[in-house]
Structure 1
């Protein structure tokens, strides 16, 4: 582990991130390696790095690729300001780096190519979600940010797709995970990935408005308790909130869920209230939902409270009368997607990692997907120079050429539809929650031969 002397450096206790900060939002070794490349005179050699997952999280038969839009925005805006360069110099870490390194940073922009699978595409272990082909120092520098956004959004999008698959097309699914996401920035990415992965709406107001969506939510126990205490009863609390937000579901489990439903039923049956929905956040959701349904047969019933695809499957199997779900903690956290970003070619020389348990395939690759009756039959991992077999579709597409995007960003609706189509195309055994069987990924003979040849080299 490298250690360096510490110096007093200007602190920003807010720790906020803006596009202007992108260049420094990286691990130190990306910059120290870039300085080394400059010193050795190889910084402009063409290099290719691929981002992929060695193994899917336990219990996942597939992943839904997500986060490309933010990755491309990052590459487009990457630059070093004079103040950032001065801050790096002030650390003393780069004392042995020559002026050429600082000149490179001052003038540097991303000028490479990017190949990627479209967001919302189902992928499997060892398949590249993205490849960067650029001057070595650029391709190296961007690793940290690309892994951060693709790993996290792919996790949330995959969870969202699995939840939609289990809950069914008719269920209303709301993302409630902002307070449990790993950071404020993470909450925005989580909301985006959840919507693109199949959920209907998010309670995150900033995320919704930035994405051109309508934010959605209900109410909290605090309002019921506050107004009940000051205005006399839970019924009066409901009446007050409903007066201002007649379309919002009411949270009815603050005190006695069944009693609350009975009182609401009285008002609904008497024509005093038109109630759109109620939410249950605790207790025996199966039993309570059935009792609430008997009292309010025409009212939409939402459930929340640490739910995920497994819990929803159990509720449905038990006959719960639930029309929609609020998803939070388990959606935006969960088992991490351990994507990696590995060098596969430099200066036209294929390279591979040979470490035990972490061997990688060399060379620039392409994923060739084949279908039978609308379902994925198999994937073939080959080289970029390979020709598709009859019926195969190449998945990786050129999305950035010489630093310039080739297409405008896709809409959430378009990505959500691709996600739905991707999940529908998966074999049933791959969609199972318990012991899923992933789609087979064949290693093309060309890639196998290159791997063997590269492995024999030093």
Structure 2
């Protein structure tokens, strides 16, 4: 049964409690952000509070240990949503009551509840700008804040940065392979892992180089115009009730003159021939045709011969490898609709690890999961406009003809920069990818970017390991 405290929370959300106490909609609003976390973040925060550690100054860094297979780089994305989240970091009285009603925190210190009731993010954040290429073990972001705050934000930060970085990297690779002139459209909403993910996927894809999205809500929220053609169902429905595929095309153009048409519901070559006759007769205008199945190389070549001035868009589980093969085989395709393979796939396995507390460097030494201690900076060097190498060093080090990548974006809980536009991020993505050596951009067996560990960081690793070995019972 729903408790009175849980009922209050459901009422605030304008939801009716079920007999089982379940919220069947599971919709998400910005008011819910602080509860969108793993339980252990809250239990750890309670423990820190009980042990009088909650206000100790802590530094956590978010990075990947290794790149996904056949990825030579990642494109950092999702920072804008991280900053929005940190600005809205709050716990309402009804949320706290719902937490208390679980009984999980019965032994938590009273100070824990007052801490959450007054919660605001008051720390600093350093991050690489969105659209920047990064490599394994390089922090995309560093949070410096009181320990309880830095701990609680982990789950949400990983969620948005991991997913948007995955989609942005795939989008950047697709643009790199397809070339600057190809029209690339994001069609992944129905395959994204959730409605929320579909919005993030659309944003990340646009910011990393795609031209438009079919997601109407995402497009309008981002100040863009949504794009799309039609589904086979429209052609089949009108053909079945009015007599032919040609009548379906005529009907669609009656309301959307000149719009692209999907021509492979039945026979794409026959459809192209009929459209060519109508074009030659001046009966219609046509912005493009889409092929969604079959031998795209042969079909596109035949359609091009029949409709020489009409752009051809291809879709159907395409990825960067398939596009590269289509181009190599001589396909006559001007653009691509990209869905499943763009918004799903091998995840970016970002992690968020404590690297310093109270000025004391710490590191994880588990087999295969070693982390580097101390607050770090990425120092990037260039030669003839190309990335030469990265040096992962400590924040106390100075660049030597290098560009520091991590920038201060939040200071004492306040943003330090104005939000960037998609156009700005897209431009940075293109420049960042273009600056990478060819072997890093390869689709097959790429050579990941070179990252050198600085002498100072090497020394700190050794000192940290030695300190732990000398004092294995230390609290740190």
Question: How far has the Cα of 1:11 moved from its partner?
Answer: 2.5
3-state SS of paired residue (1:178):
coil
Give the match for residue 223 of structure 1.
234
CA distance in 2 between counterparts of 1:365 and 1:49 reads 10
Which runs of at least 4 in structure 1 moved beyond 4 Å after TM superposition? none
- CA deviation digits over 1:381-432, x for unaligned, max 9? 000010001x200000000000011111100000000000000000011010
3-state SS of paired residue (2:443):
coil
CA distance in 2 between counterparts of 1:52 and 1:139 reads 15
3-state SS of paired residue (1:315):
helix
Pairwise CA RMSD of aligned residues? 0.8
Verify the 8 A CA contact 2:409 2:415 in the aligned structure 1: yes
5+ unaligned residues in a row in structure 1: which ranges?
1-7
Match for residue 437 of structure 2 among 397, 405, 427: 427
Question: How far has the Cα of 1:9 moved from its partner?
Answer: 7.8
Give the match for residue 409 of structure 2.
399
CA distance in 1 between counterparts of 2:408 and 2:100 reads 36
CA distance in 2 between counterparts of 1:248 and 1:162 reads 28
Match for residue 256 of structure 2 among 245, 248, 252: 245
- CA deviation digits over 1:142-182, x for unaligned, max 9? 00000000000000000000000000000000000000000
Match for residue 378 of structure 1 among 376, 389, 407: 389
Match for residue 365 of structure 2 among 337, 354, 368: 354
CA distance in 2 between counterparts of 1:65 and 1:100 reads 37
Give the match for residue 436 of structure 1.
446
CA distance in 1 between counterparts of 2:456 and 2:29 reads 43
Verify the 8 A CA contact 1:66 1:193 in the aligned structure 2: yes
Match for residue 185 of structure 1 among 188, 192, 196: 196
CA distance in 2 between counterparts of 1:106 and 1:13 reads 27
The reply to whether residue 200 of structure 1 matches residue 190 of structure 2 is no
CA distance in 2 between counterparts of 1:9 and 1:105 reads 27
Question: How far has the Cα of 1:91 moved from its partner?
Answer: 0.4
CA distance in 2 between counterparts of 1:196 and 1:365 reads 27
Verify the 8 A CA contact 2:379 2:390 in the aligned structure 1: yes
Give the match for residue 287 of structure 1.
298
Q: Normalized against structure 1, the TM-score is what?
A: 0.98
Question: How far has the Cα of 1:234 moved from its partner?
Answer: 0.3
CA distance in 2 between counterparts of 1:279 and 1:187 reads 23
CA distance in 2 between counterparts of 1:333 and 1:421 reads 25
CA distance in 2 between counterparts of 1:247 and 1:109 reads 52
CA distance in 2 between counterparts of 1:343 and 1:396 reads 17
CA distance in 1 between counterparts of 2:117 and 2:260 reads 54
- CA deviation digits over 1:20-65, x for unaligned, max 9? 0011000000000000000000100000000000000000000000
Verify the 8 A CA contact 1:47 1:135 in the aligned structure 2: yes
Question: How far has the Cα of 1:247 moved from its partner?
Answer: 3.6
Match for residue 140 of structure 2 among 129, 135, 140: 129
Verify the 8 A CA contact 1:301 1:322 in the aligned structure 2: yes
Verify the 8 A CA contact 2:258 2:284 in the aligned structure 1: no
Question: How far has the Cα of 1:10 moved from its partner?
Answer: 3.8
CA distance in 2 between counterparts of 1:242 and 1:288 reads 23
Verify the 8 A CA contact 1:280 1:303 in the aligned structure 2: yes
CA distance in 2 between counterparts of 1:215 and 1:187 reads 14
Give the match for residue 258 of structure 1.
269
Question: How far has the Cα of 1:12 moved from its partner?
Answer: 1.4
Verify the 8 A CA contact 1:80 1:106 in the aligned structure 2: yes
3-state SS of paired residue (1:240):
helix
Verify the 8 A CA contact 2:380 2:402 in the aligned structure 1: yes
Verify the 8 A CA contact 1:111 1:403 in the aligned structure 2: yes
Verify the 8 A CA contact 1:114 1:399 in the aligned structure 2: yes
Q: Normalized against structure 2, the TM-score is what?
A: 0.94
Verify the 8 A CA contact 1:9 1:91 in the aligned structure 2: no
CA distance in 2 between counterparts of 1:9 and 1:283 reads 49
CA distance in 1 between counterparts of 2:250 and 2:310 reads 16
1:58-97 matches, cutoff 5 A? 58-97=69-108
Match for residue 415 of structure 1 among 397, 402, 425: 425
CA distance in 2 between counterparts of 1:15 and 1:87 reads 15
1:256-335 matches, cutoff 5 A? 256-335=267-346
Give the match for residue 454 of structure 1.
464
The reply to whether residue 167 of structure 1 matches residue 186 of structure 2 is no
Give the match for residue 15 of structure 2.
none
